[in-house]
Structure 1
Amino acid sequence: MTRPEITAPVKQASAEQAASTATSLGELPIWKLSDLYPSRDSAEFKTDMEKAADLSKAFEARWKGRLTDAAANTGADGLGQALKDYEILEDLLGKLGSFAGLTYFSDTSNPANGKFYGDVQSKLTDLASHLLFFALELNRIDDATMDTALDRDPQAAHYRPWVIDLRKDKPFQLDDKLEQLFLEKSMTSAAAFNRLFDETMAELRFEVDGEKLPLEITLNMLQEPEEPVRHKAAEALSKTFQQNIRVFTLITNTLAKDKEISDRWRGFDDIADSRHLANRVEREVVDALAVAVREAYPRLSHRYYAMKAKWLGMEQMNFWDRNAPLPETPKALISWPDAKETVLSAYAGFAPQMADIARRFFDEEWIDAPVRPGKAPGAFAHPTVPSAHPYVLVNYMGKPRDVMTLAHELGHGVHQVLAGEQGALMAQTPLTLAETASVFGEMLTFRALLEKTKDKRERKAMLAQKVEDMINTVVRQIAFYEFERKLHTARKDGELTSEQIGELWLSVQEESFGPAIRISEGYETWWAYIPHFIHSPFYVYAYAFGDCLVNSLYAVYQNAEPGFQQKYFELLKAGGTKHHPELLKPFGLDATDPSFWSKGLSMIEGLIDELEALDRG
């Protein structure tokens, strides 16, 4: 998933400068999607699509209305066989969908890619309608019968964690006809508006000094050392967002209403409960996290931004100065080979197996690194399916933050490879734990670099950048979560104007930034570009959850806990087969304990203390 506001490219002032930058970075890899299919027009893709259609219909014909009987049998007619057949289908459908998605995100501006992606999504939705009965019918089997079936049939017992997890959805299921209607209409409701957002954002251009730039490059100008450059970028962003705000307001209103309708029909009490259920995390745990972070604003973001304003020679920073580099920040670009070596050596220092898995992403062309027109912004690691392998997308332009982003996404990739052993049904990790390996990998890389840095000024710049990244990952994401809560709550009373949404946005930003940052006209539209609000409502708290969890986990590692690496790999290999209390117990951690979050936040506070000490010294 896209890293929160820690992206890669820097300003491209001209084609000549861009070429020079690319040369200094070395050859950047482009992913080899042919590992999935040779091309979108290939015979292999078409054959698998036809195979998926035949298998989906055959699965429905064989098992629909027969699962209760299957629960009483073993072997070819037993529940275990039905689950195995379903998993095989899930893997095939996932492979087809992954190829279409990755092709589209390689160049969202290509109309042929857009049509291919849309057509494949439509076909997969049609096929999913033949499989929809399976989960619904499984959940209508009474508990005693299901328990007996899982105990009696060894093949079914293998899928016990998935079945138990599935049954948590039972109270929120609708009848079959309604579920099918929700599924089929998703293509013309939420999915359609998601695609409208992606394609609109990909086409936006932001004019700076007469040059029209895409979003990714313009956002990263906010990390340039010269204040006038940051100011111009902020003005260009505000201007273009404002020019398109009606579209983003319509998308936001529509998706919020669509979610409210779905939640109401399913019987969810709270606006975020459907996300909590999907994440397999209790509302009380998330509420405790949000409260802990909000209470820490003065000790974290308010305190740090006040220090940074002083370092930059300002009484108060403008909002476009928030991610400005310190004067001590090295300006030299980091080549791709150096970035690769930095991450792999940091991973190897923790566990050679971790580096070996990450190295495959480089050696076997599973990474797409260059910035190019139409390519999806930001960064993500896509797991595809267990029968294939994950892919990583970054937009690499040689800044230190880009190395951290690479370490982050490769952490996801390692996690996805290890969890793939669980198979298509149980490999997926709940979002609350999905950020564990990524943030941990990033922390390993940061600590390795920090240990090598003896120069006091460079050390200060590194620590400051890490603190900013952690504030972006924890404080900012909880502020985003609070914004979503306010927006979805207000939407229940009627459609919101862009001005009303802007007021909600500013209220949470002012609270999280504190008095050291001046929020001026234009920033009220900046909610419009955050993709998480569109694609995954309330996803954002998973970043804060993951960062705080890893801070606590890393503290256990630093204390030389015996067998830590082995326990860590077992956590990653578990995929979706275990709940967070069970996974964290071997490390002596408990996310339901209110003090758990305080421990995670104290690590950020400790880094700020270290920065303050360096400043005094």
Structure 2
Amino acid sequence: MYRPFSAPILNRPLHATATAGAQAAADLGDLPNWRLEDLYPSPASEEYRNDLAKAETDSLAFEAKWKGKLAEAALKAGDEGIGAAVRKFEALEDLMGKIGSYAGLTYFSDTTNPANGKFYGDAQAKLTDLASHLLFFSLELNRIDDAVIDAAFATDALAAHYRPWLIDLRLDKPYQLDDKLEQLFLEKSMTGAGAFNRLFDETMASLTFNVDGEELPLEVTLSMLQEPEPEARRKAAQALTATFKANSRVFTLITNTLAKDKEISDRWRGFEDIADSRHLANRVEREVVDALAAAVKDAYPRLSHRYYQMKAKWLGMEQMEFWDRNAPLPETPTALISWADAKETVLSAYHGFAPEMSEIAERFFSGGWIDAPVRPGKAPGAFAHPTVPSAHPYVLVNYMGKPRDVMTLAHELGHGVHQVLAGEQGALMASTPLTLAETASVFGEMLTFRALLEKTTDDSERKAMLAQKVEDMINTVVRQIAFYEFERKVHTARKEGELTAEDIGKLWLSVQSESLGPAIRISEGYETYWSYIPHFIHSPFYVYAYAFGDCLVNSLYAVYQKADGGFQDKYFELLKAGGSKHYSELLAPFGLDASDPSFWAKGLSMLEGLIDELEALDKA
């Protein structure tokens, strides 16, 4: 079922890096802006207006032809069969997805531009209205007996083609409401959760942070937490705290409203656990996620606690302040990495794994599919948006020339390669559940990191690289599971009534102190840092997908290192599958089973091994 464009996931916003100043920007080279003209020439273009009109005409015609007739169509084949109906529905999904993607990407290019906001809002409203005419389709399909659908697979070639989508759709059947209620939920989403998502985005984009009298945007201020000078990090942390506190009423209202909105929806649909709707959307079993979370929490002392104790010693501190967590080591190179060098680094690493992977990634550079500069109003962080199979994906980064920016570029291009390959499945089956959505991105990072590490012969430089990778993995695994536990606490507590900013801050500190360990002092002000994490707003309980993906890729990479041959072919088959197969089926060719409790321990062992290597270098 079409969903209007929502905010893309901003991947690992804490990894965003920046360096203020025109000279620094000049050192980076010519940073590309994306070519949204590949979708439409402009919001006022005839092409855009024509497609919007076509979407309306086709949606109404689809409703008139198929509503109330799907049970009968399931008994036929050819142009009047259920497969033909799904194919037409898929064409509508692609068309409406293109319209929504263009509006969303235009908006996220500059969320502070009122014209962009109006364009985005109008497009969302129109697409939501059209989606209400298509809502019957999935609901009616799920009322058809399983035996009738199974018979259609045998007699209708088109239905057989869409079998994975139809089977997957039926997993939602126990949680469906009647048609009128579903339509109400859909139409009210624009003035409910959707409105509060937009309020968060526009509020966050408009915030500034005062550092030594200079008003800085979020990206630049966050980047100062990675400055070599402790005083610069302290000032940035205090600036972040001051602005978050000044806006705490807004962020608290948004959090309370969205948590209550989710509780209402879950209660009406009959979900038992607060995260069950996310697990269903991810097509992953609750016990698998519970096992992941338990394994990571059990490993806190061996991973984050141990590493941060080592880092405190390297920085000459008995205990680090929270703003020192991402501080660079003294050995860390300070030279900026130009855009051209970043491009060469990532493409070379991808080519070393498989030329096809590098060729696909290169299209993002040559085709204008990447938006790289930091600018006022632009969405913070980074994301890869798939748009629709008839077009191509786009990548947004805020490139500032730090080593972590190169890793972020490798991460997002991994998503982009995945989206290009999965696009072969068509609009209905290209989307990858979150269980595997981070696979290609994290794998791309690992390839880039390993390629750089192999070229490094200097022990101090190797130590800095290993430390940076360990911190990235801790942020991706330990921190994201802590985020997941925080969300569980917030949504559970919200059932008992509204939460104050102080209530939410206490829940935040409880999970942060547990995950970070005794080597980091949780000073006053850190209780506000839950405010800016976009995942909590746009996609509740999304965050465990990062830990899932990182641990999975660690196991996958271990298989790659031991493989005699054929790994690349199996890997590309996994990416090409999109959402057409369950993750367990896609992992089986690699001999991996995420339902095995030991699976997560194996994935975490790679991170532990990197910490071991750092410890050995430190003693050498």
User: TM-score range, shorter-chain basis?
Assistant: over 0.9
Q: Kindly indicate whether residue 96 of structure 2 is the aligned counterpart of residue 88 of structure 1.
A: no
CA deviation map 1:53-78 (0-9, x unaligned): 00000000000000001000111111
Matches within 5 A, 1:529-544: 529-544=532-547
Shift of 1:150: 1.4
Which residue pairs with 1:428 in the alignment? 431
- The residue that corresponds to 2:559 in the other structure is 556
Q: Per-residue deviation at 1:40?
A: 0.6
C-alpha separation in 2, matches of 1:3 and 1:293: 20
Of 116, 119, 133 in structure 2, the residue corresponding to residue 116 of structure 1 is 119
The residue that corresponds to 2:574 in the other structure is: 571
Deviation (angstroms), 1:100: 0.3
Whether the aligned pair in 2 keeps the contact of 1:125 and 1:183 (CA below 8 Å) is: yes
Output the CA distance in 1 between the equivalents of 2:14 and 2:36: 25
In the TM superposition, what is the alpha-carbon distance from 1:10 to its structure 2 partner? 2.0
CA distance in 1, matches of 2:449, 2:90: 39
1:2 aligns with 2:31: no
CA contact (8 A) 2:382 2:408 kept: yes
Equivalent residue in structure 2 for 1:611, among 590, 604, 614: 614
The one of 69, 74, 79 equivalent to 2:72 is 69
Q: Which residue of 2 aligns with 1:333?
A: 336
Structure 1 residue 332: Cα displacement: 0.3
Which residues in structure 2 correspond to 1:26-175 (within 5 Å)? 26-175=29-178
1:153 and 1:278 mapped to 2: Cα distance? 28
Q: Residue 10 of structure 1 contacts residue 224 of structure 1 at CA under 8 Å; is this kept in 2?
A: no
Tell me how far apart the structure 2 counterparts of residues 30 and 450 of structure 1 sit (CA, whole Å): 30
The aligned residue for residue 231 of structure 1 is 234
For 1:184 and 1:561, the matched residues in 2 are separated by 54
> What SS does structure 1 have at the residue aligned with 2:334?
coil
Deviation of 1:236 after TM superposition, in Å, equals 0.3
Aligned equivalent of 1:276: 279
Residue 595 of structure 2 corresponds to: 592
Partner of residue 176 from structure 1, selected from 160, 167, 179: 179
The structural deviation recorded for 1:9 is: 3.4
Distance 1:486 1:561, change over 3 A: farther
1:397 aligns with 2:400: yes
The correspondence for 1:23, drawn from 8, 23, 26, is: 26
Tell me how far apart the structure 2 counterparts of residues 8 and 361 of structure 1 sit (CA, whole Å): 20
Task: State the shift of 1:44 in Å.
Answer: 0.4
Once residues 302 and 597 of structure 1 are traced to their aligned partners in structure 2, the CA distance between those partners, rounded to angstroms, is 19
Distance 1:76 1:578 in 2: 27
Q: Determine the C-alpha separation between the residues in 2 that align with 1:142 and 1:226.
A: 66
Query: Which of 210, 215, 219 is matched with 2:218 structurally?
Result: 215
CA distance in 1, matches of 2:184, 2:599: 42
Is the CA contact 1:5–1:472 (under 8 Å) kept in the aligned structure 2? no
Aligned pairs for 1:412-423 (under 5 A) are: 412-423=415-426
Q: Is the 8 A contact 2:18 2:399 kept in 1?
A: no
Amino acid at match of 1:450: L
Kindly state the Cα deviation for residue 582 of structure 1 after the two structures are TM-superposed: 0.2
Q: Which amino acid aligns with 2:12?
A: P
**4+ residue runs over 6 A deviation:** none
* 1:133 Cα offset (Å): 0.2
Contact 2:331 2:463 in 1 (8 A): yes
C-alpha separation between the residues in 2 aligned to 1:510 and 1:397? 30
Contact 1:95 1:385 in 2 (8 A): yes
- Written as runs of structure 1 = structure 2, the 5 A alignment for 1:508-523 is 508-523=511-526
Query: What's the CA shift for 1:6?
Result: 4.5
Name the aligned partner's letter for residue 232 of structure 2. Answer: V
Counterpart pick for 1:377 among 380, 389, 392: 380
With 552-561 and 294-303 compared, the bigger mean Cα shift is at: 552-561
Question: Is contact 1:479-1:509 (8 Å) kept?
Answer: yes
Contact 2:480 2:546 in 1 (8 A): yes
Q: Per-residue deviation at 1:561?
A: 4.2
Inter-partner Cα distance in structure 2 for 1:114 and 1:572: 34
Please tell me the residue identity of whatever aligns with 2:456.
T
Q: Deviations over 1:62-107 (max 9, x none)?
A: 0000000100011111101000000000000000000000000000
Alpha-carbon distance in 2 for matches of 1:443, 1:5: 19
Distance 1:422 1:463 in 2: 38
Contact 1:6 1:469 in 2 (8 A): no
Per the alignment, residue 15 of structure 1 pairs with: none
2:369 pairs with 1:366: yes
Unmatched runs of 5 consecutive residues or more in structure 2 = 1-8
* Residues 1:526 and 2:529 are matched in the alignment: yes
**Alignment deviations for residues 561-602 of structure 1 (CA, whole Å, 9 cap, x no partner):** 431000000000000000011000000000000000000000
Secondary structure of 1:508's counterpart equals helix
Residue matched to 2:6: none
TM-score by length of 2: 0.98
For 2:518 and 2:539, locate their aligned partners in 1 and report how far apart those are by CA, in whole Å. 31
% identical equivalent positions: 79
Does residue 317 (structure 1) correspond to residue 325 (structure 2)? The answer is no
How many angstroms apart in 2 are the aligned matches of 1:217 and 1:22?
12
Query: What does residue 507 of structure 1 align with?
Result: 510
Q: Tell me which residue corresponds to 1:305.
A: 308
* Letter matched to residue 502 of structure 1: G
1:11, 1:217 within 8 Å by CA — same for their partners in 2? yes
Matched position secondary structure for 1:386: coil
Distance in 2 between the 1:56 and 1:435 partners? 33
1:5 CA drift (Å): 3.4
Structure 1 counterpart SS, 2:530: helix
Conservation of the 8 A alpha-carbon contact between 1:390 and 1:417:
yes
1:527 counterpart SS class: coil
- Measure how far apart 1:19 and its partner are: 1.6
Q: Is the CA contact 1:415–1:573 (under 8 Å) kept in the aligned structure 2? A: yes
CA contact (8 A) 1:440 1:550 kept: yes
Counterparts of 1:447 and 1:609, CA distance in 2: 17
1:465 equivalent in alignment to 2:468: yes
Output the amino acid matched with 2:154: D
Measured after TM superposition, the shift of residue 215 of structure 1 is 0.7
- 2:475 alignment partner AA: N
SS of residue paired to 1:326: coil
CA distance in 2, matches of 1:561, 1:264: 51
* Gapped regions of structure 1 (runs ≥ 5): 13-17
Q: Number of residue pairs matched?
A: 612
Q: Which of these residues, 474, 478, 481, is aligned with residue 478 of structure 1?
A: 481
